[in-house]
């Protein structure tokens, strides 16, 4: 029994270390991306920054959930998915506002910031890969980061198109696509949370 307990504690410690690193990196990039998006008038960068902020929130919730009951973990995943869903809808609202009122985005800022975010997210994704087959709250964190990698690539491509075409609409398009992708990931996480909650005998709705 003692060996089993030691193994469990070691596993929890490893999960905490990975999630703490991911939390710090994503929180830092959320701030950097948000500032860059504001300076660059880029919907894509602002959407990407919100996505990374939601990741940092998910990692924080994941840290709290480590070592807790299956029911607590399912509820943590449910909360993560709900936050992500709200942010995804908020991104779409911001895109609409920018289309009506926004200035032309600065492509250089878009490309440079998104490249930096991509490097950070690839590092975090590799760190989280061993955890993606684990419990529902850990799978949620992996899904968040996978969404970020896709979003980063999209912002880079949009930045290139903004520069090439001298037109802001590629930025609006990628902002919309990120918002829709974020909503899709949120629904997937909520479904995972519902299944996990059903298994412990407590429906989430």
Torsion angle (degrees, nearest 10) of CA 150, 155, 157, 162:
160
Residue 159, burial from CB neighbour count under 10 angstroms (0-12, 13-18, 19+): buried
Q: What is the CA radius of gyration of the chain?
A: 18
**pLDDT score of 71 more than 50:** yes
Domains and CATH numbers, the chain: 2-199 (1.20.1510)
H or E stretch covering 37: helix 2-40
User: Mean pLDDT of all residues in the chain?
Assistant: 83
Other Cβ atoms within 10 Å of 192 Cβ, number:
21
pTM of the model: 0.75
Report pLDDT digits (tens) over 162-198: 999 999 999 999 999 888 888 887 888 888 888 877 8
Q: What local confidence, expressed as pLDDT, does residue 21 receive? A: 87
- Dihedrals φ, ψ of 23, to 5°? -60, -50
d(CA 101, CA 171) in angstroms, rounded, equals 14
């Amino acid at each position: 029994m003692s060996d089993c307990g030691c193994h469990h504690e070691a596993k929890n410690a490893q999960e905490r270390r990975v999630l703490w690193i991911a939390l710090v990196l994503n929180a830092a990039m959320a701030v950097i991306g948000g500032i860059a998006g504001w300076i660059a008038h880029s919907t894509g960068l602002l959407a990407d920054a919100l996505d990374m902020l939601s990741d940092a929130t998910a990692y924080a919730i994941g840290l709290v959930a480590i070592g807790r009951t299956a029911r607590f973990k399912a509820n943590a995943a449910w909360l993560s998915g709900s936050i992500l869903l709200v942010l995804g809808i908020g991104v779409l609202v911001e895109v609409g506002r920018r289309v009506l009122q926004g200035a032309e985005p600065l492509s250089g800022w878009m490309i440079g910031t998104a490249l930096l975010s991509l490097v950070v997210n690839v590092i975090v994704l590799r760190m989280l890969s061993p955890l993606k087959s684990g419990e529902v709250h850990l799978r949620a964190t992996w899904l968040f980061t996978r969404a970020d990698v896709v979003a980063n690539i999209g912002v880079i491509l949009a930045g290139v198109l903004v520069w090439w075409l001298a037109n802001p609409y590629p930025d609006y398009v990628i902002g919309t696509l990120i918002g829709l992708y974020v909503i899709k990931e949120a629904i997937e996480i909520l479904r995972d949370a519902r299944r996990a909650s059903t298994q412990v005998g407590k429906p989430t709705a």
